[in-house]
Amino acid sequence: MVIYALKPWASDVVMLVQTVFKRLNMVASGKMFVANSLPGSVLVMFTWNPLFYVIDQARGFAFINYQPCNSDPLYPLYFSLGLLMIGFIGEYYTRQRASSSWLAKI
């Protein structure tokens, strides 16, 4: 929602940010390594990512002997709700002030 709200204002920049975010999320999501095996100094670099928490919790549900020690199941929910609210506010603001002709190509 946040990216959707920003797209009419700076579409080229938003597309670039969206691509960078997707690539960064792939590396920092925790798919390539197990969170419980990471040292604390490395774990700090991944704690910002809610997808990291979701993947760690999913491993806990999928594998019997895996206990997710480093992730809180409510963090992704709170993070998503916060971004959703910011996105709704931005989308409301954009609908009030942006023109549909801004994105028209000649």
What is the per-residue pLDDT across 2-52, written as a single tens digit (0 to 9) for each?
777 777 777 788 888 888 988 887 777 777 788 888 888 888 888 888 888
CA contacts within 13 A on the Cβ side of 69: 10
**Which residues in 18-35 are b (16+ Cβ under 10 Å) and which e?**
eeeeeeeeeebbbeeeeb
CA 16 to each of CA 12, 28, 57, 84, 99: distance values in angstroms, whole numbers, following the listed order: 6, 18, 30, 21, 22
pLDDT for the residue 106:
45
Whole-number mean pLDDT of the chain?
83
pLDDT-derived band of residue 104, with 50, 70 and 90 as boundaries?
Answer: low
User: Which band of pLDDT confidence, cut at 50, 70 and 90, is reported for residue 81?
Assistant: very high
Count of alpha carbons within 13 angstroms of residue 51, beta-carbon side: 12
pTM value surpassing 0.75: no
